[in-house]
Amino acid sequence: MRILPGVQMRRAIAVTVVAGLAFGGLACGGMAAEPAFASGHVAVPAPTGAPVPGASPAPSTSPAPSGKPAATKTVTYDGYELSVPASWPVYHLAQDRSQCVRYDVHAVYLGTPGADQQCPAHLVGRTQTISIIPGSGVSYQRAQVGATGGTQVGSVPGVHGSIVLNSQQRELRVALGAAPGNATAVATYSDSPDLDKQMLASLRDSAATAQASPSPSQQRAAVRPAKQPASPKGRPSGSSAWHGLPSDWPTQVIAPPSKAPAPTSAPRPTTAPRPTAAPRPTSTPRPTSPSRPKPSPHPTSPSHPKPTPARTPPKPKPAPKPAPAKRPRAGFDTCTAPSIATMRAWRSAYSVIGVYIGGVNSACDYGNLSASWIRQAKALGWSTLPTYVGPQAPCYGAGVTISAGKAQAQGRAAADEAVSDAKSLGLPKGSPVYYDMEGYNEDNASCVSAVVNFLAAWTTELGAHGYVSGVYSSQDSGITNLNAAARAKHPRVTPKAVWIALWDGNKSLADGKLAWPVTDRAKQYAGPHEQRIGGTTLDIDSDYVDGPTAG
């Protein structure tokens, strides 16, 4: 079975769905990344998990006919409320600890992400999402991205907070409360943050809107939905801030998951009456004590054994260091960093892991990733392939892409941000950072030129900071184009190492056509598949590694 560690939530969860609020008619179009590797396209599935119990499929958030604004719903969690598009699924992470927190599809995530999320191995790109994370769950990426920087772009009167924008990461956040342990609301986006701003601006303290709560009959419907399945009509709770709301807009109230009734305590047993003390017998004359015998010079009484001096326990032997893996080494990559417990179990089969450390197109929660995680994994004998997923080829067709006229500037900016990410994880100078350039149309000359210019600037800037440049890409596009530039002794700089995506199932790095020696190569020879080791299942890609790694 999967390891599903429990995380206690600080407050009870409740979700109220209210159809009818409007975000100024904004449309919420979907975006699904379809990475292209080696010889094929892989369709990325939509998230699976536990949406709001009892919620029926919501209407599309595309523009309604006759200019009617898109429907929304109100989500209440951890003492806060906010309004989101009605079609978005809501995932309670405490109910399904394996639920993947994905940023490439519209969704609402409530709670702390699980230790071992079941994420598809290859997700690229971001769109609008909302997460509310308790203070205990704000880990590496929350501390790194926008925690101390960013630009204030709005206020949230309902929680006395501010909206802070990190345009490089396509992310906004609102600190919910001044105390260090309070929750954080995080929103991601792709092109425009406008919808995210409106959703975050709707945040409010749920206690402050108690007076606008549904009538007693509506409250009874929330407690016993089976007795009153029909949705009552009336003005939605907390809707006074939304102008132009029709008075007859339908309202649907969905109860939170029911809790098991507390067991009735057993009746306390009746205390038995204390027995009456028996009468004290008449004292008899004390017998004359016999003469005390002289003690033996060597007493042998078994009731007084000679004390044995305590032995000092032997010092435990230090745990043996894991033997270094033979090169090339077996590795895997996944969308989010697994738990250390999983890393310990999986060390029996692998010694290298590819992990995303940042990038505007990172489509997954970073999971357990932190400087401490890097150190602990290294102590277990792991090496890492630090991976940064920034702007993609202009002809990629999804997520944030390279602008042909700004390719070199964007490449330098990506390298600077990747170095900042690497330093925050304790990765020293001399460590490699691999740029994830997904497969693209290699027959598009202008697209190819922009990619090569971008990666040349990435390599130069990364080297200026003392880090080693690597590039991950498809054998049929990025690797082919970089190899041609290297073979032609092109003035544009080529990376130190390559990580080749070629899903042929062949664990081999031999390819005489490549300009890089085998010791500067890694190969992703198998695409997304599930593997189970030590009771934990992960969705991974399989790698064969002889190139530079961190750790």
Q: Which has the closest alpha carbon to 218: 240, 238, 203, 236? A: 236
Question: pLDDT at position 382, please?
Answer: 97
The pTM (predicted TM-score) of the whole model is 0.66
Question: pLDDT at position 169, please?
Answer: 82
What are the extents of the domains in the chain? 36-227, 329-545
Question: pLDDT at position 357, please?
Answer: 95
Sheet of 204-205: strands edge to edge? 72-77, 80-85, 204-205
pLDDT in tens, the chain (551 residues): 333 333 332 222 333 333 333 444 333 333 333 333 333 333 333 344 444 332 333 333 334 444 455 798 999 998 888 999 999 999 998 998 888 898 889 999 998 888 888 888 878 888 999 999 887 544 444 344 334 468 899 889 888 889 999 888 888 998 887 555 578 899 999 888 999 999 999 999 887 665 555 444 333 323 233 333 333 333 333 333 333 333 343 333 333 344 444 444 444 444 444 444 444 444 444 444 444 444 444 444 444 445 555 566 556 555 555 556 677 999 999 999 999 999 999 999 999 999 999 999 988 888 899 999 999 999 999 999 999 999 999 999 888 999 999 999 999 999 999 999 999 999 999 999 999 999 999 999 999 999 999 999 999 999 999 999 999 999 999 999 999 999 887 667 889 999 999 999 999 999 889 999 999 999 999 999 999 999 999 999 999 999 999 98
> Which residues, at least 6 apart from 57, have a Cβ–Cβ distance to it below 8 Å?
none
Q: Which has the closest alpha carbon to 526: 238, 193, 142, 121? A: 121
Q: What is the rounded CA–CA span in Å between residue 168 and residue 120?
A: 24
Question: pLDDT at position 469, please?
Answer: 97
Question: pLDDT at position 230, please?
Answer: 35
The residue type found at 344 is: R
Report the CATH architecture of 329-545: Alpha-Beta Barrel (3.20)
Question: pLDDT at position 322, please?
Answer: 58
